[in-house]
Structure 1
Amino acid sequence: MKSTENYLTRRSFISSAGLLSGMLLISPKSLFAQQGSPVTMIIEEARKSPVITTKLRGNLTLMEGSGGNIILVSGKKGNLMVDAGIDVSKEKIKAKIAEINDMPLQYLINTHWHFDHASGNEWINHEGAQIIAHENTRKWLSQTTRVDDWNYTFPAAPEGAIPTTVIGKAHEINFEGQLIKLKHYAPAHTDSDLSVYFPDTDTLHVADTWWNGYYPFIDYNTGGSIHGMITAAEENVKAVTDRTLVVPGHGPIGKKADLLEYRDMLLNIEKSITKLKKSGMSVKEVIASKPTKNYDEKWGKFVIGPDFFTALVYKGVA
């Protein structure tokens, strides 16, 4: 297991994490041009990918390789997880947990409803964990949900995958004397996003309100918007200090300076695309003008490529 002090650089992270490197072998343009949906490809990559662990602070461990970033909190009597990953990674995740702390799973926090963070809910619940999430996560998991920009319709989740404890704006958990603070964002990536803060170690999981080094996906079908993403990015900046360890939904862990860079990228691209749209340009014309070109080298080489991100932002501006 790696430690935070020797955490992967972005380049080595991409090359070594199977899920991410597999996705990068296919350009974003060809990925979204395929028949079917990228969801099926992401699931297949998770099926093949190793689960990689990194020791964070205190009793926190980062787990990567099954969709979104997972945090395992090790206790004397049990374990708590932040996000469940993709269900095809079940055995690999179970094996890693056993290596770290061979205690039962007691709690699972869903940061939002998306499949790459919550499709492992059912097996984790069967292990004995109570599932905690925002009320909108429960809503979307409980019904058939279409995400147009993924070209995918998700069936209602099985009963064992539905959160049993739902929260509104905020909630606190006392896990073996360790305080964990949950806070709901105004609609951003979705309308179900939660942050998870560990005061004892000053570690904040901001889920998919931050994709570190990548253009983010915005789920307009379930309440997301570019304006909400910018608001969440600004909220994240205000919530941390230079010491805070910040865990994104996707990408390597970072600090306040990384959050600032991400916020500024979103602000500048949103401003540029708003101006072009107001001038009467169609989405195809705006894409052709390459309004993200100054950021593409750093941010545009993952699942959401420059053209796709431009289209997502265009959809959400007046």
Structure 2
Amino acid sequence: MSQVSQLTRRRFCLCCVASATFASGGGWLTPRAAYAEARNIVDMIRTDAATAAIKVHKLRGGVSVLEGSGGNVGVLSGPDGKVMIDAGITASKPRMLEALASLGNEPVRHLINTHWHFDHADGNEWVHAQGAAIAAHENTRKHLKTMQRVEDWDFDFPALAPSAIPTEVFSERKQLTVNRSTIELQYYGPAHTDSDISVHFVEADILHVADTFWNGIYPFIDYSTGGSIDGMIRAADANLAKASGTTIVIAGHGSPVSNRAGLQDYRDMLVTIRDNVARLKKQEKTLDAVVAARPTAAFDGKWGQFVITPALFTKLVYEGV
């Protein structure tokens, strides 16, 4: 089985899988080659998502996580209808419907997009067709309405269909009351992208932080739409401020369920690597020299074992310091 096939079978997001198209020897692909690889990965992810199993993690307070279609999808179930946090990949629709049905027969009434990326919003159209109103930050709406280019692999994402575009948008915060639960939506400012929000189920004390937290793996940072390493650290600080020792934390990728201690480890990793890379870059070292210096070495055993390799994460951090 090829490396790419192994990755798609683990059902990670397009944004991080596509980043693996860099040559295994450490060199960067040409734009033409990167485009071809990214195009193939999009097709492979959609094909895999058509048959991938969806794992259901039941938490508390009527909140569950569906793992296996792009980013980790949160679900609040109850008599007012289901609330979905992200929609995953369209090709997962049959398996997602089965997983949703296992949580009760209530229809989906609300969909919240945590940001614009394909692996979180591709399913918007079919979820809306189920009867869901779509809410998101205003920048998510802006990005989904037009073609979006991600320069790191020379790939253009087309605009979504009109019915897949969020209609309930906000700039800083929004609150919903559904199924006797208070749901607080909070904009981070630019972080993983410029459209990221957290979703806090207040009474259940569950915090969905989406792609501001990659549990056990190095994160992708989308500089093309406003992301940055400093923004990721600010988001990690915001998550720590909101979480207590009893808070359940839902990560965007990696193991879906974590806690405040996991957030702290992640934040400490980001800060240390950012500082290491910044110190080397200040010495006017080239990217290749910084990668060769292995500024991530102390963390690679835990965080560097999947798609975002130590070399690629170093490149992403170098771009932002």
Where structure 1 has 5 or more consecutive residues not aligned to the other structure, the ranges are: 1-13
Aligned counterpart, 2:319 = 315
Aligned counterpart, 1:159 = 162
- Code of the residue aligned with 1:304 in structure 2: it is I
What secondary structure sits across from 1:276 in the alignment? helix
Q: Please, which of 297, 307, 310 is the counterpart of residue 306 of structure 1?
A: 310
Runs (4 or more) in structure 1 with deviation over 6 Å come to none
Aligned counterpart, 1:105 = 108
1:184 deviates by 0.4
Percent identity between the two aligned chains? 46
TM normalised by structure 2 equals 0.88
TM normalised by structure 1 equals 0.89
Contact 1:79–1:103, Cα closer than 8 Å, also in 2: yes
- Code of the residue aligned with 1:284 in structure 2: it is D
Aligned counterpart, 1:80 = 83
Is 2:117 the partner of 1:114? Answer: yes
Q: Please, which of 5, 8, 11 is the counterpart of residue 19 of structure 1?
A: 11
Contact 1:244–1:255, Cα closer than 8 Å, also in 2: yes
Is 2:255 the partner of 1:254? Answer: no
- Code of the residue aligned with 1:97 in structure 2: it is L
1:40 deviates by 4.3
The aligned runs of 1:203-218 (5 Å cut-off) are 203-218=206-221
Contact 2:249–2:258, Cα closer than 8 Å, also in 1: yes
Contact 1:18–1:49, Cα closer than 8 Å, also in 2: no
- Code of the residue aligned with 2:220 in structure 1: it is F
Q: Please, which of 29, 46, 49 is the counterpart of residue 46 of structure 1?
A: 49
- Code of the residue aligned with 2:126 in structure 1: it is W
Greater mean alpha carbon deviation, residues 123-132 or residues 151-160 = 151-160
Is 2:294 the partner of 1:290? Answer: yes
Where structure 2 has 5 or more consecutive residues not aligned to the other structure, the ranges are: 1-5
The aligned runs of 1:132-211 (5 Å cut-off) are 132-211=135-214
Equivalent residues, number: 301
Measured in 2, the distance between the counterparts of 1:231 and 1:110 equals: 20
What secondary structure sits across from 2:203 in the alignment? coil
Measured in 2, the distance between the counterparts of 1:153 and 1:91 equals: 27
Measured in 1, the distance between the counterparts of 2:293 and 2:86 equals: 38
Measured in 1, the distance between the counterparts of 2:185 and 2:124 equals: 18
Change in CA separation of 1:269 and 1:42 when aligned onto 2, cut-off 3 Å: farther
- Code of the residue aligned with 2:209 in structure 1: it is V
- The one-character-per-residue Cα deviations of 1:182-203 (angstroms, maximum 9, x if unpaired) are 0000100011101000111100
Q: Please, which of 94, 97, 121 is the counterpart of residue 94 of structure 1?
A: 97
Aligned counterpart, 1:6 = none
Measured in 2, the distance between the counterparts of 1:316 and 1:166 equals: 29
What secondary structure sits across from 1:246 in the alignment? strand
Contact 1:180–1:198, Cα closer than 8 Å, also in 2: yes
1:219 deviates by 0.6
What secondary structure sits across from 1:302 in the alignment? coil
What secondary structure sits across from 1:100 in the alignment? coil
- The one-character-per-residue Cα deviations of 1:210-245 (angstroms, maximum 9, x if unpaired) are 001010010111110000001111111111111000
